[in-house]
C-alpha cells in the first residue's frame, strides 16, 4: 500500500474496514495456495498482503480504542 492509501484507511468506517479485511484475507489464502502449487510468480506479494491485513487490523483497533475513550 502506498502512503496515501494507508492514510485513507483512517477515513473508512468500521464496516468498510471489515469488508476490506475479509476481501484481503480471501485474496491472501488464494495467493498462498498458488504459491504452494508454484503458479505465483511474485512470492513477495503474500508478504505485502499480510502487512496490509495487519495495517487494517491496527486501524480497526485504533477506532475501537477511540470509541472506548469517548464513552468514559
Given a contact cutoff of 8 angstroms between Cβ atoms, the answer to whether 35 and 43 are in contact is: yes
**Residue corresponding to grid cell 480504542:** 65
Q: What's the burial of 56, exposed, middle or buried (CB within 10 Å: 0-12/13-18/19+)?
A: buried
Every domain of the chain and the residues it spans: 3-71
Provide the pLDDT for residue 72. Answer: 66
For 15-66, the pLDDT digits (tens) are: 999 999 999 999 999 999 999 999 999 989 999 999 999 999 999 999 888 7
* CATH fold for the domain made of 3-71: Helix Hairpins (1.10.287)
How much is the pTM? Answer: 0.84
State how far the Cα of 69 lies from the Cα of 56, in Å rounded to an integer: 20
Amino acid at each position: 500500500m502506498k502512503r496515501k492509501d494507508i492514510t485513507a484507511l483512517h477515513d473508512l468506517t468500521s464496516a468498510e474496514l471489515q469488508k476490506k479485511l475479509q476481501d484481503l484475507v480471501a485474496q491472501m489464502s488464494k495467493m498462498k495456495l498458488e504459491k504452494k502449487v508454484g503458479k505465483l510468480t511474485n512470492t513477495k506479494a503474500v508478504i505485502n498482503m499480510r502487512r496490509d491485513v495487519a495495517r487494517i487490523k491496527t486501524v480497526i483497533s485504533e477506532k475501537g480504542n477511540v470509541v472506548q475513550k469517548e464513552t468514559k
